[in-house]
Amino acid sequence: MAAKNIHQLEETLTNSNSVLWPEDPLKVLPLGFKDMIRCEDLTFTYTENAGESSFNVGPMEFEVRKGEILMLVGGNGSGKSTLLKIISGLYLPDSGRITVDDQMVGDKNYATYRELFSAVFTDFHLFRKLYGTDRVSRTRIDQYLKMFGIDHKTAFASGRFTQLNLSTGQRKRLALIVSILDDSSKT
């Protein structure tokens, strides 16, 4: 059943130009990232089925400047993953505000804000075919495969990766390449 659902999703993505997103979400409401993302008084609360609070993070206040390398450190259950999900737009904060280059992120540009992020999670899936990256040249894909040291393990031919049976590290590098290609196809 799971394989059938994946094949149906793949068919839907193949046959659809843009079922889930506007044709070009970055043109709908412009929101770019030139300098800084600022989070002010962000809070988030997980609630149980009965509506009771089970865990909360915040209030949090910080800035992330373009080009910075940051590390989140903390014990199990301290809120590191939750914070990343809030920053990347996967979770809506309960309170507080996020600004990008002093432009407030709100209901009208939230989808555009989410488009600023790409992530390779610990638990991920690779598809043989690239979806939504029709404008990326095969030459560029080949350059990335070589740059990341996996060009001897897989290639891109006939619109697909030739091999996905790779080591975990190689799969993560390929997932990062796909993320980069997705971002570059929007420019």
Instruction: Determine contact, residues 145/154, Cβ cutoff 8 Å.
Output: yes
| pLDDT for position 183 | 64
- On whether the pTM is more than 0.85, the answer is no
Q: Which CATH architecture has domain 36-114?
A: 3-Layer(aba) Sandwich (3.40)
| pLDDT for position 144 | 92
- pLDDT single digits (tens) 23-81: 444 444 456 678 899 999 999 998 877 777 778 888 999 899 988 888 888 887 888 88
**Per-residue DSSP letters for 66-103?**
TT--------TTSSHHHHHHHHTTSS--SEEEEEETTE
Residues of CATH 3.40.50.300 domain(s) within the chain? Answer: 36-114
| pLDDT for position 18 | 39
Kind plus residue range of the DSSP H or E element containing 54: strand 53-65
- pLDDT single digits (tens) 93-142: 999 999 998 888 888 888 888 888 877 767 777 888 887 666 778 888 99
